[in-house]
């Protein structure tokens, strides 16, 4: 690309502000140093140009962009869906998945889906979400309290910022889900509905 301005605010290769100079003068200074004249702020008045190695500049810019994309991906949101009358095995399987996502640094949205008459028993869904909260409290904190969104009751869990447990142990923790959940077949021990 070509710099179209007649005058530019010049910064030399030592990051020293030279001042406003004609474009020919800036190009001559860049050629003397065997470097490139790069327009770093084209919208400024006058445009800001810097004497630098353009190849090195592009490499650093691509590296910054790549790091930014990597950080953006690590903030991915995962969702786990459950039902208010979830079986023990299904519950433990889903909680293991939530724990795995939190260990990997992902935020997790835990959703309980209600159908038909189940909407009359929202407390069962809240019990499920409270159990999930209790079972993963060592890995994550509740970012959004349980609330209804249509026919879903949702809760958001964010990972804790501690990496010490991974560094010290060297492997993922295999903490069992609460003992009382293994002894019952459903979250509502009093109901025999099918």
Number of domains the chain contains: 2
Domain that holds residue 177: 75-183
CATH number, domain containing residue 38? 3.10.20.80
* Residuewise pLDDT in 10s, the chain (194 residues): 678 888 999 999 899 999 999 999 999 999 999 999 998 888 889 999 999 998 988 898 899 888 888 776 656 789 999 999 999 999 999 999 999 999 988 899 999 999 988 888 889 999 999 999 999 999 999 989 999 999 999 999 999 875 444 444 444 444 444 444 444 444 444 444 43
Residues 32 and 102 in one domain: no
Q: How far apart are CA 27 and CA 47, in angstroms?
A: 14
Domain membership flag for residue 2:
no
Q: How far apart are CA 127 and CA 191, in angstroms?
A: 14
User: What value does the CA radius of gyration of the chain take, rounded to a whole number of Å?
Assistant: 29
Residues 37 and 106 in one domain: no
Domain end call among 70, 98, 121: 70
Domain end call among 70, 97, 118: 70
pTM, full prediction: 0.49
């Amino acid at each position: 690309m070509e710099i179209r301005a007649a005058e530019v605010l010049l910064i030399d290769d030592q990051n020293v502000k030279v001042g406003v100079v004609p474009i020919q003068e800036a190009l001559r200074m860049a050629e003397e140093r065997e470097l490139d004249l790069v327009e770093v702020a084209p919208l400024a008045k006058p445009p800001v140009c810097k004497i630098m190695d353009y190849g090195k500049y592009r490499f650093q810019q691509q590296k910054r962009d790549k790091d930014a994309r990597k950080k953006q991906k690590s903030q991915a949101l995962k969702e786990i869906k459950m039902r208010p009358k979830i079986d023990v095995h299904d519950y433990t399987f889903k909680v293991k998945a939530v724990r795995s996502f939190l260990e990997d640094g992902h935020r997790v949205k835990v959703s309980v889906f209600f159908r038909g008459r189940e909407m009359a028993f929202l407390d069962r869904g809240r019990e499920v979400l409270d159990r999930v909260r209790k079972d993963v409290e060592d890995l994550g904190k509740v970012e959004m309290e349980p609330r209804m969104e249509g026919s879903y009751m949702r809760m958001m869990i964010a990972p804790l910022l501690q990496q010490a447990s991974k560094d010290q142990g060297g492997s993922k923790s295999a903490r069992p889900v609460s003992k009382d959940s293994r002894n019952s077949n459903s979250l509502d021990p009093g109901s025999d509905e099918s």
